[in-house]
Amino acid sequence: MTASSAGKRRFARIDRLPPYVFNITAELKLAARRRGEDIIDMSMGNPDGATPAHIVAKLTEVAQRPDTHGYSASKGIPRLRRAISHWYKERYA
């Protein structure tokens, strides 16, 4: 056991998970670029430029308001909520 793995438990269910798809595509992209191929990265959609200043300013302003310091109220997807309610009603009513 190495110092970095000391005290860490291994979980069989996690070990059975497939490789993370974005790691695979990143490796393929890197290999293609090393071969000199001109590729367009359509994977994760990370920005390739700075966030515009007016967006950063608005985020800073809103983040300082106490009414924004919680989770948003999500009412979910109405059709899905109705389907789940119907399922529970049929099963448990």
Give the model confidence (pLDDT) of 23-78 as tens digits: 998 999 999 999 999 988 887 777 888 999 999 999 999 999 999 998 877 888 89
Residue 3 in this model has a pLDDT that exceeds 60: no
CA angle centred on 86, ends 89 and 81, rounded to 5°: 125
22 within some domain: yes
19 within some domain: yes
28 within some domain: yes
Query: Does the pTM exceed 0.75?
Result: no
37 within some domain: yes
26 within some domain: yes
Q: What domain range includes position 26? A: 11-44
62 within some domain: no
17 within some domain: yes
